[in-house]
Amino acid sequence: MVTLLMVTMIVGIMVVAGALVMRIAGEGGRPTMTEIRVGAGYSVVSVDHGVEDRLVLVLKDANGEQVVRVYRTKGAAADYEVIKE
């Protein structure tokens, strides 16, 4: 029984290690995010590019309240797209 558990653990470690290696090699590293999705309960009032790598969204929820969200982006904020779901 101990041998069966040991073999199972070794196979599990190999599967996890293989999955990590394949993911890193397949994607060329970490994928970059180029879009920001806004939930269904919000409408976009304005989008502004803040200082350097900041993207500022002003949203309005179903109650009419304004919500300000600030996102830190990798690279220029102008390269990002806001998508309403």
Q: Are residues 54 and 39 in the same domain?
A: yes
pLDDT digits (tens, 9 = 90+) for 23-37: 776 655 555 567 888
Distances (CA, A) of 57 to 13, 18, 45, 50, 84: 43, 40, 8, 10, 12
Is residue 63 domain-shared with residue 43, that is, in the same domain? yes
Range of the domain at 3: 1-31
Render pLDDT for 39-76 as a digit per residue (tens, 0 to 9): 888 888 888 877 777 888 899 988 989 989 888 877 67
Same domain, 27 and 53: no
Q: pTM, whole model, 2 decimals?
A: 0.53
Tokens of 20: 């990590």
Q: Are residues 37 and 27 in the same domain?
A: no
Q: Where are the alpha helices (DSSP H) in 29-71?
A: none
